[in-house]
Every structure is written in structure tokens, then in C-alpha cells.
Amino acid sequence: MVAVLSEVRALLGEPRFNWSDPAPWIGLERELGIAFPSDFREIVDAYGSISVNGQLYLKHPAGHLLHSLGVMVRRDLELWREEDMAEFLPAPVGSGPGELMPVATATTGEAVFLRVPDDASSPWRVVVQEFDSPAWTLYEMTFGEWLLDYLRGRDVTLCSRNLAPDGPSWEFLP
């Protein structure tokens, strides 16, 4: 885990949020009935609610109303549970085994989900849905691995090369 965060730091730059109080995570996880993967928590705790490359939005559970992970998750769960939206995903949204938990969005129309493992020994995986089409992609990698590929400009459905020609960057969400 520490290796993933140090690699993210090397590519994205030093974080300035550095959250250490677990209370917002505990409350959100209790409400949703899951424990988010530690690499996701560690990255979001380090950086907070940010825009990466002006494209990918990551939100922290302690963020204010507009940029709160909890608010975003509740809203997106409701959206993706609608009958006409559910057909665009490979599995239902929710916190049960095999279900998809929305965790990030992009200005380019993608939604990023974490696939809840089927059992405690299985890893979390990433699913990216292209909002403007019925296309989705399952990435057999952790959130940290997926984010590193994104920051390196690799094709993980979100394409950042044209949005980050000078390398990855981030800024706090207003």
C-alpha cells in the first residue's frame, strides 16, 4: 500500500490534505455496509477531494456537501439503480458481493466503480462505465494500480494525455 501511495506521489506531486481522522470513513462504511479498500482510502486521505488532470474527480467522505464522497455515492447509487440505467453496467450497484460501488466521476462522462469482492480473500476491482454509451470495462487491478496507469497515461478508459501534456497534476475541488 505504501508503495502505491509513494508511486502516486512521485507522479502527481505531494498531497496537502493528509487526513488522519477515521470517523468520516467509519460512518460512511457503516451506512453502506462495506469497508472501502485500503489503497483507495489511503490515496483519498492523502489528497482529499480533488480534480486530477482537470478530468477525474476524487472525493473524500469529510468533504463539504458539493465534494463529499458520501453525498456522491448516495446520489450515484440512486441514479444507477434506475431501471433504464442499470442495463449499462455489468452488475447491480450496491455493497453486496459482486456489486459495484460508485467512487469517482470524470468530466469526460465516465463513472468509476469499485467491484465489491465475492469473498474477503478476493481483491477489489475497478469498472469504468462510459456514461455516453453502453460501454463499460472491468480492470483486473486495484484502485491504486488503476490510478497509477491513469497517471502514466495508459488507456484505462479515461484518456489523460491530451488533458495533461506536461504530466499529471491535481487541484482541490472548489
The whole model's pTM is what? 0.94
pLDDT in tens, 132-160: 777 899 999 999 999 999 999 888 987 66
* pLDDT score for 159: 67
* pLDDT score for 1: 52
How many Cα atoms are found within 13 Å in the side-chain-facing hemisphere of 173? Answer: 24
pLDDT at 161 over 70: no
Picking from 23-32, 81-90, 93-102, which range would have the lowest pLDDT averaged per residue?
A: 81-90
* pLDDT score for 104: 97
The overall average pLDDT reported for the chain is: 92
In this structure, the strands spanning 100-106 and 110-115 are antiparallel
Ordered domains of the chain (ranges, CATH):
2-172 (3.40.1580.10)
